[in-house]
Amino acid sequence: MLLYNCFHSDDKSHDHVPFPSPGFPYVCIRTDMEKYADRRVPWHWHSSCEIVTVEQGTIELRTSDQNLILQKGDAAFVNKGVLHTYQAVSEEAAVQYANLFHADFLSGAYNSIFDEKYFQPILRCTALQAWRVRPDSKMHLAMISAVLEAQTLVSEEPDGYEFDIRTQLCEFWKGLYQETDDLRTNAPVRNLADSERIKQMMDYVQEHYNEPLTVDDIAAAAGISSRECSRCFHRCIGVSPIEHLTYFRVRAATAMLAETSKSVLEISEDCGFSSSSYFSKVFRETTGLTPKAYQKKSKLSES
């Protein structure tokens, strides 16, 4: 199934992956980054693996440990459970495809030779958050070509395409396994405490963003001090807890402005802002538009 511009979250900060059925845990999502007010996909994570390709423009892929610049023709792997975000960084419009799948879609039975030898070493490698693949060698070209073929197959859905998609993704994975051998062999085990804490705190923000929140409230969600909370946010995503909260509120407001007929005042209150004037100020700083201008632009694009 090929989907378009459908980043959604469930009641947690996990990306809600819209697989067509439990029996076919693969989906491809085409994302036009210009559809987002700030040209960014929010920080999120999911239990599936992800391979992204860039069709147009330049996109920055960030994890808590890495900043990778992806240009047209590049691909990248994001490991399961890894907190990450995408941001368009070129003046040119940016378009990406995200191929999302459960590892056992490729590895087969639990404890099989494929699972134990080729998949678990990658999935368990805490140092392997993301891996960029550029078209600069025969192997890299083959890996990228395999993903592009999977994207074509899911778009056209010829008879038996499910088999062929799995084959193409396995070709990519085989190259990934070979390419990451040194990293997996020599990298030290990474402490995951920060990752788990920030996921808990981001979940809390998503559940309570429309309420009055303090740094102490956010920190309590992970059982840490407000000072450690601030350090954790800066270490993982480079912003303060309040900056993240404000950004999340603005993101929620963009959806309400585009999808409802509520007034700016109602939306500012629904999203937890203390006043409509402050809401308008931070909304413009984030999106480049006033709430009313954004609402008008969204309605015009729908007509």
Condensed to tens digits (0 to 9), the pLDDT of residues 63-79 reads 999 999 999 999 999 99
pLDDT: which is higher, 218 or 11: 218
> Using CA atoms in the order 48, 54, 55, 56, what is the torsion angle rounded to 10 degrees?
140
- Predicted local distance difference test score (pLDDT) of residue 22: 83
| Average pLDDT score over residue span 124-145 | 97
Confidence band for 302, pLDDT divided at 50, 70 and 90? low
Of 56, 44, 36, nearest to 258 by C-alpha is: 36
- Predicted local distance difference test score (pLDDT) of residue 20: 79
Confidence band for 9, pLDDT divided at 50, 70 and 90? very low
Query: Which of the residue ranges 11-25, 84-98, 210-224 would you say has the lowest mean pLDDT?
Result: 11-25
Single-letter amino acid code for the residue at 89: V
In this prediction the pTM is 0.89
Mean residue pLDDT of the chain comes to 92
Adjacent-strand bridge partners of 84: 44, 63
pLDDT: which is higher, 188 or 159: 159
| Average pLDDT score over residue span 195-203 | 95
Question: 296 pLDDT exceeds 80?
Answer: yes
- Predicted local distance difference test score (pLDDT) of residue 134: 98
Q: Cα separation of 295 and 146, whole Å? A: 40
Tokens, residue 228:
């450690």
Question: 47 pLDDT exceeds 60?
Answer: yes
Tokens, residue 209:
């963003």
CB 61 within 8 A of CB 70: yes
- pLDDT tens digits for range 82-122: 999 999 999 999 999 999 999 999 999 888 999 999 999 99
| Average pLDDT score over residue span 28-32 | 95
Strands 95-101 and 67-71: unpaired
Domains of the chain (ranges; CATH) run 2-186 (2.60.120.280), 193-302 (1.10.10.60)
- Predicted local distance difference test score (pLDDT) of residue 187: 82
Single-letter amino acid code for the residue at 189: V
Q: Which residues contact 148 (CB under 8 A, 6 or more apart)?
A: 53
Question: 243 pLDDT exceeds 50?
Answer: yes
- Predicted local distance difference test score (pLDDT) of residue 208: 97
Q: Cα separation of 200 and 223, whole Å? A: 10
